[in-house]
Amino acid sequence: MKVQKVIVEEKSYPLYILLDKEFEVIEPVKRFIKYLDNTGKAPNTIKTYCYHLKLFYEFMSQSRIELGDLQFEDLANFVGWLRNPAGHLKVIDIQPKKAKREETSVNSILNAVTSFLEYLNRTENFKAIDMSKEARGRNFKGFLHHCIC
């Protein structure tokens, strides 16, 4: 996997795309990056999202998971993979070591991945993980709820 910087003549800033092992463009990521650019995200945000998605695709490659076969448990395994100091699924240290990434970094990466999966759910026929949230009813009752006037 490789993140490639792309210069677009109409833009005053570079864009980024994700390439696989054969240096082919990963189309869903390309469309997502284009969406981020069209919605006015900052260039550094787009770059960061691209690098975060690179980590996600590396995890899927090590796990031998296709994007369409993704399950909710795979996201939990991805978080464990991000925290693993060895950076590989099958390597476990005998001596406890500090996590490879801080929790804020893991949360940022997970935010990028969930945004990507939500984008796929909304724009394509992608239903591997349902990222939609159901609206819950209002559980809050006011302070004077018990007083009916």
Q: How many CA atoms lie within 13 A of 84 on its CB side?
A: 17
Tokens matching residue 21: 């092992």
Tokens matching residue 112: 């990028």
Mark 2-37 as b/e (b = at least 16 C-beta within 10 Å).
Answer: eeeeeeeeeeeeebbbbbeeeeeebebbbebbebbb
In a domain, 42, yes or no: yes
In a domain, 9, yes or no: yes
pLDDT value at position 48? Answer: 93
Provide the CATH number for the domain around residue 40.
1.10.150
* Residue 26 falls in which region: left (phi positive, over 0), alpha (psi -120 to 50) or beta: beta
> pLDDT tens string for the chain (149 positions)?
888 888 888 888 888 888 888 888 889 999 999 999 999 999 999 999 999 999 999 998 888 988 888 888 888 888 888 887 666 656 565 555 666 677 888 889 999 999 998 888 888 766 666 655 555 666 767 766 667 65
In a domain, 131, yes or no: no
Identify which of 89, 104, 120, 121 has the alpha carbon closest to the alpha carbon of residue 52: 104
CB 45 within 8 A of CB 32: no
Q: How many domains does the chain have?
A: 1
pTM above threshold 0.85: no
Q: Determine the structural domain holding residue 18 and report its residue range.
A: 2-123
In a domain, 27, yes or no: yes
pLDDT value at position 56? Answer: 92
In a domain, 141, yes or no: no
